[in-house]
A and B are shown apart, each in its own frame.
Chain A
Amino acid sequence: DTGVSQNPRHKITKRGQNVTFRCDPISEHNRLYWYRQTLGQGPEFLTYFQNEAQLEKSRLLSDRFSAERPKGSFSTLEIQRTEQGDSAMYLCASSPNLREYGYTFGSGTRLTVV
């Protein structure tokens, strides 16, 4: 499978715990994006990497959220001190050129904070 891979698929955590998600993009794609999707809403942009550089962060990305993409390959998204409002589907996407090709999305990680 040469698509975008996300792990884990599901994560249930207690409020206050830290969680980390991983995204493996399509290897030829130098652009990587994280989005969050809640029920009844479209995906909301969180952050964008070009290679290893994090070039843009949404205001949705509070101080409790951090993302990395070491070596410009896979990326991790960490949420510290989770809150119930963090419950959502976290989507990763990659692209060689956004304007011309759009995104290829992964299947997402569904986070439930109890």
Chain B
Amino acid sequence: AQSVSQHNHHVILSEAASLELGCNYSYGGTVNLFWYVQYPGQHLQLLLKYFSGDPLVKGIKGFEAEFIKSKFSFNLRKPSVQWSDTAEYFCAVNAGTGANNLFFGTGTRLTVIP
């Protein structure tokens, strides 16, 4: 069965620090990968997605993620975080050409200290 692992449950950073959130999935076939963000009191929003092509994808607000097929990973990065990046981040995978839904990880809570 497919699964998504986000090993960092809670990350605390100071402003301007660099961020990397881990995401690993278990599925050997074709995947489409997504990162969603949920700011406090708001709904889930799409940060970025990998559909095909360049494995380094850039999203909104300076975020990027790299799909490394050999490592089954899709880590989220940002070179310099801001206080406004405080949120919960979810990695999700659509696994297989016949898959009709996204499978989400348990999320990583990011707290940025001013």
Contacts and interface: CB of A to CB of B under 8 A. Distances in A.
Interface in B39-54: 42-46, 49, 51
Interface residues of A, number: 23
Question: Dominant SS at the A interface?
Answer: mixed
B43 A108 contact: yes
A98 B94 contact: yes
A44 B101 CA distance: 10
A89 B66 CA distance: 30
B100 A48 contact: yes
Question: Dominant SS at the B interface?
Answer: strand
Contacts of B104: 42-44
A28 interface: no
Contacts of B51: 99-100
A91 interface: yes
Interface residues of B, number: 22
Contact of B32 (A41, A42, A91, A99): A99
Contacts of A105: 36, 43-45
B103 interface: yes
B106 A103 contact: no
A41 B106 CA distance: 5
B67 interface: no
Interface of B: 4, 32, 34, 36, 42-46, 49, 51, 90, 92, 94, 100-107
Q: What 8 A-B pairs are tightest by C-beta distance, nearest first?
A: A42-B104, A105-B44, A107-B43, A45-B101, A99-B32, A102-B34, A43-B104, A105-B43
